[in-house]
């Protein structure tokens, strides 16, 4: 059994590394400094064979040979595993008349692994010359959120001419009870390119699901459509202000859609006998996730080492024998400095109460500020212990926050009515938020105890920044570019 698993894994790895049909095609989306694209293992170049209702392990490791739930399809559609196959280097989604029935059999496959923003998905396809819908799309497990990477109707029938020259680039937000369906209806959701009839050529269609409120569509590597903002993504607020945020399955299929069939846009029995005319071809599908570059990771680690070094140096100073007069002098300076810092912080808080400044104090210094008096020298031992305890807590915090560096642990988007406000949300309680310059210098920092917070970025100098969010067990980070 172990040998079989090992062989299968090696085969999958080799297939991904050495047989990628897209290896010379760049991802058209440029990431911020410090990040690069990493290929997701759900990607598939279909350079193997998997036929009928007994598809092999290579296929089954990546795909389910059906829809993602027991539903068999809309209208006359009935998905059947015998109508999906992989051969000649292509995924083939076929269609034909079901024997002894008015039903139309087509193929449908679903990814084994779900994906979530930020992610880039692209597929090279040749849609069929049929009235059926040919689609590569994503759908949440509860069927409430959908992103259509490509949805096209390629028939050369006269009554389908308008659709045959367009590719539908859209998304849906659903409410299940009572059922409601929202999708954009603007003209740009139907992509038109100089009268191209799409079933006559291969085309690459991709989407960059950047965040819950931003979708970018790409045709043959060119960005052709951007959908962003709550008012376009989910104006009816079916997501309770969260946008398109759920994990999704990738689905590739063909179907006879009810709204088209009711308008006469459905294949005839004669047309369905022509298998070649009713076959949707997929050359490959690739999925990429953004990850930190090795250089960025090295900088993060170096920064953590420097912080640890500073903590250790302070700890060493405290542990040495220091005369009471030196301690008193140092603490007097700290009190004066903190008083000035507090004044600055208060002024900034008045002007910008959404980004409180952090004033770092030991427990002794807090007491000194409140009492406005020096610490008596006869309690020096107790004070030193308090300082040591504070420094040890800082060191533990640094170590905890360096356990795991993660890109996706929080969502960041500009609010609908306030473009200068970045809203940060997470499914975990956030301990601290840091704003760093592109050189990883700390620009601003504040602590919170909530799953959501807001950053006012209206006063930020133009440039590139990193936003770090610290949790109990990890450090998550995303990039931000201030344009003004």
The catalytic site residues sit at 146, 151
Q: Residue holding tokens 């790895």?
A: 13
Nearest C-alpha neighbor of 206 from the set 189, 193, 223: 223
Phi, psi (deg, nearest 5) at residue 136: -120, 120
Residue 52: alpha-carbon gap to chain centroid: 34
Q: How many helices (H) and strands (E) does the chain have?
A: 10, 25
Q: Are strands 411-414 and 421-437 parallel, antiparallel or unpaired?
A: antiparallel
The SS3 of residue 427 is strand
Task: For 319-340, give one letter per residue: b (16+ CB within 10 A) or e.
Answer: eeeeeeeebeeebeebbeebee
The SS3 of residue 201 is coil
Q: What is the greatest pairwise CA distance in the chain?
A: 101
Q: Residue holding tokens 């059922």?
A: 179
Cβ atoms within 10 A of the Cβ of 469, count?
23
In the DSSP assignment, the letter for residue 213 is T
E strand or H helix at 396: helix 380-401
Overall residue count recorded for the chain in this entry: 484
């Amino acid at each position: 059994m172990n040998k079989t698993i090992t062989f299968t894994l090696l085969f999958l790895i080799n297939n991904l590394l050495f047989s990628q049909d897209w290896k010379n095609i760049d991802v058209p989306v440029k990431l911020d400094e410090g990040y690069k694209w990493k290929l997701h293992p759900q990607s598939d170049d279909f350079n193997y064979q998997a036929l009928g209702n007994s598809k092999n392990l290579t296929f089954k490791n990546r795909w389910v040979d059906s829809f993602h739930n027991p539903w068999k399809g809309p209208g006359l559609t009935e998905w059947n595993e015998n109508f999906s196959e992989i051969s000649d280097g292509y995924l083939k989604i076929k269609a034909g008349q079901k024997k002894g029935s008015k039903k139309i059999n087509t193929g449908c496959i679903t990814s084994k692994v779900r994906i979530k923003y930020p992610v880039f998905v692209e597929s090279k396809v040749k849609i069929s010359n049929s009235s059926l819908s040919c689609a590569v799309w994503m759908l949440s497990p509860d069927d409430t959120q959908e992103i259509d990477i490509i949805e096209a109707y390629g028939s050369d029938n006269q009554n389908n001419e308008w659709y045959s020259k367009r590719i539908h680039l859209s998304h849906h937000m659903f409410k299940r009870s009572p059922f409601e369906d929202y999708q954009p209806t603007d003209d740009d959701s139907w992509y038109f390119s100089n009268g191209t009839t799409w079933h006559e050529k291969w085309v690459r269609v991709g989407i960059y699901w950047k965040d819950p409120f931003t979708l970018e569509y790409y045709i043959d590597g060119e960005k052709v459509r951007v959908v962003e903002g709550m008012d376009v993504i989910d104006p009816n607020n079916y997501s309770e202000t969260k946008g398109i945020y759920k994990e999704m399955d990738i689905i590739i299929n063909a179907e006879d859609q009810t709204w088209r069939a009711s308008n006469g846009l459905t294949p005839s029995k004669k047309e369905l006998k022509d298998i070649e005319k009713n076959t949707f071809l997929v050359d490959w599908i690739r999925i990429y996730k953004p990850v930190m570059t090795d250089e960025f990771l090295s900088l993060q680690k170096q920064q953590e080492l420097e912080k640890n070094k500073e903590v250790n140096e302070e700890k060493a100073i405290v542990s040495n024998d220091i005369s009471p007069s030196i301690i008193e002098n140092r603490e007097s300076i700290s009190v004066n400095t903190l008083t000035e810092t507090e004044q600055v912080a208060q002024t900034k808080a008045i002007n910008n109460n959404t980004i409180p400044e952090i004033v770092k104090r030991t427990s002794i210094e807090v007491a000194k500020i409140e009492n406005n008096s020096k610490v008596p020298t006869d309690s020096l031992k107790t004070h030193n212990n308090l300082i040591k305890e504070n420094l040890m807590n800082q060191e533990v915090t640094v170590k905890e926050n360096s356990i795991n560096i993660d890109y996706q642990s929080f969502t960041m988007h500009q609010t609908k009515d306030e473009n200068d406000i970045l809203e940060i949300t997470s499914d975990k309680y956030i301990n601290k938020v840091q704003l760093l310059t592109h050189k990883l210098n700390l620009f601003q920092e504040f602590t919170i105890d909530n799953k959501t917070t807001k950053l006012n970025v209206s006063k930020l100098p133009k440039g590139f920044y990193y936003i770090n969010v610290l949790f109990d067990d990890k450090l998550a980070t995303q990039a931000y570019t201030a344009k003004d």
